[in-house]
Amino acid sequence: MTSHSEPSAPRASRGRRSVDDHAAAVRDLLHPALERLGRDAVTVPLPEARGRVLARPVIAPLDLPPFDNSQMDGYAVRSADLPGRVTAVATIAAGHAEAALAPEPGPRAAAPIMTGAMLPAWADAVVPVEAADPPRFVATGEEVTLPEAPAGQFVRAQGSDVTRGTTVLEPGVRLGAAQIALLAALGLVDVPVRDALRVAVLSTGDELVQPGETLPPGRIYDSNGPMLAAALEDAGAAVLTVQAQEDSPEGLRAALARLDGVDLVVSTGGISQGAFEVVKQGLEGGVEFVSVALQPGGPQALGAVTIASGTVPFLGFPGNPVSSLVSFEMFLRPLLAGPRPSVRAVLEGAADSPAGKHQVRRGALRDGRVRLEGGAGSHLLHALAQADCLVHLPVGLERADDGAEVEVWIV
């Protein structure tokens, strides 16, 4: 949150921990685990590299394009021969270098050439076929009239995209479709990526039923488990298990004791003021329960828990789905995947925010204007699903009027 905070923002009141202070506490808690990830690289095959974070620089082993080639279907020519009549020589198709490597023809020659095909060394320009007279490919030995073509026209020069030996991707880059395309174009198959943070997600609450099962009265489907698993994976973490947990402190401790080989446990629910707060009752001691000046996402828990493979960091997010996802966005995601893109936008309609709290509303951003999706309620999943941004109403801003400028994170 540090990079997004307002330096002059009033501090949270009434003994609540500020958003920045809690973000710092979570950062400190996860520092050793994240430092290890920054150090340790693993090699994954290219098809598995999507969403991973590059651990080492990538140095281009070849030029891109690897050879001069045509940008158009047309005729490869010497610009000095044009305009005028030229005689067609052998056709050069993409992937077939023989015709391009054939001995240089005499003056006033033109080779029919296809997009992506290797330009012969004797040619320095390409005339698109539709500019020819006749506007088609003529047979070898026939004549065609071509207009003037400056040297370099429609030629994609070797190395014009990437020069061999240059660093094309830096460590820390998240690999998406474009980066994977670049690695593939360079012929690379083994990609050094940061080891992913291995996370266990535990949903707590006796009311929870798994999607696909029938829904008895008074019960609800577990949406936090799938939501956080998706959010974590989207941020580059490896979710080793997603479990719903019966509401008993002993059951929770037993479930933790069975977990093996995770770097972090994240739970949802069971941390506020109810009579059956399973996380609070089961983990008191190693875990701290705090009230953060954030809405939604006020109740928070953090500390350490003992699992089969040792003691690992623990984060307890509140059970309300929007609270849980906002907690993830504010405290965990920035550590895993860096800050969300942040813009200033003009608010459509007014919004009220509780005194002394940093409120995060859901919004839809269009052309620099943001419309709130749904109210402040932290159960409003449909509105969350319509939103494409989070709207920040920091401490001290108890009302934002229609037309006010607000900070928005694009999610």
Contacts with ligand LQZAQKY5, residue ranges (CB under 6 A): 203, 205, 207-208, 220, 222-225, 268-274, 277, 296, 298-299, 318-321, 323, 378
Task: Specify the residue, 29 or 228, whose C-beta has the smaller distance to ligand LQZAQKY5.
Answer: 228
If contact means CB under 5 to 8 A according to the sort of partner, which of ligand MOO, ligand LQZAQKY5, none does residue 220 touch?
ligand LQZAQKY5
- CA pair distance 86, 63, nearest whole angstrom: 32
Instruction: Candidates 120, 296, 334, 363: give the one binding ligand MOO (CB under 6 A).
Output: 296
If contact means CB under 5 to 8 A according to the sort of partner, which of ligand MOO, ligand LQZAQKY5, none does residue 394 touch?
none
Instruction: Candidates 105, 282, 298, 303: give the one binding ligand MOO (CB under 6 A).
Output: 298
Instruction: Find all residues with CB under 8 Å of 128, minimum gap 6, and list them.
Output: 72, 73, 74, 154
Instruction: Find all residues with CB under 8 Å of 368, minimum gap 6, and list them.
Output: 343, 345, 346
Structural tokens at position 64? 């891109």
Q: Which residue has the tokens 């174009």?
A: 185
Number of Cβ within 10 Å of residue 151's Cβ equals 12
Contact of 393 with 372, CB cutoff 8 Å: no
CB of 272 to ligand LQZAQKY5, least distance (A): 4
Please provide the distance, in angstroms rounded to a whole number, between the alpha carbons at the two ends of the chain.
15
Instruction: Find all residues with CB under 8 Å of 92, minimum gap 6, and list them.
Output: 70, 76, 99, 100, 111, 112, 113, 114, 117, 118, 120
- CA 99 to chain centroid, in Å, comes to 44
Q: Which sign does the torsion angle of CA 231, 233, 237, 240 carry? A: positive
Beta bridge partners of 69: 118, 156
CB of 318 to ligand MOO, least distance (A): 4
Beta bridge partners of 203: 244, 268
Q: Does 204 bind ligand MOO (CB under 6 A)?
A: no
Task: Specify the residue, 313 or 318, whose C-beta has the smaller distance to ligand MOO.
Answer: 318
Instruction: Candidates 323, 328, 332, 389: give the one binding ligand MOO (CB under 6 A).
Output: 323
* Alpha-helix runs per DSSP H in 284-349: 321-327, 333-337
CB of 20 to ligand LQZAQKY5, least distance (A): 19
Q: Does 295 bind ligand MOO (CB under 6 A)?
A: yes
Q: Which of residues 344-383 bind ligand MOO (CB under 6 A)?
A: 378
Contact of 359 with 50, CB cutoff 8 Å: no
Task: Specify the residue, 236 or 321, whose C-beta has the smaller distance to ligand MOO.
Answer: 321
Q: Which of 84, 85, 117 is nearest to 101 (CA)?
A: 117
Q: Does 297 bind ligand MOO (CB under 6 A)?
A: yes
If contact means CB under 5 to 8 A according to the sort of partner, which of ligand LQZAQKY5, ligand MOO, none does residue 236 touch?
none
CB of 205 to ligand LQZAQKY5, least distance (A): 4
For residue 273, give the DSSP letter: S
Task: Specify the residue, 208 or 312, whose C-beta has the smaller distance to ligand LQZAQKY5.
Answer: 208
Task: Specify the residue, 128 or 296, whose C-beta has the smaller distance to ligand MOO.
Answer: 296
CB of 346 to ligand LQZAQKY5, least distance (A): 29
**Phi–psi pair at 333, nearest 5 degrees:** -55, -40
Region binding ligand MOO by CB under 6 A among candidate stretches 170-178, 224-232, 292-300, 396-404: 292-300
CB of 362 to ligand MOO, least distance (A): 13
Instruction: Candidates 320, 360, 392, 395: give the one binding ligand MOO (CB under 6 A).
Output: 320
CB of 276 to ligand MOO, least distance (A): 17
Q: Please report, as ranges, the residues that interact with ligand MOO according to CB under 6 A.
A: 295-298, 318, 320, 323, 378
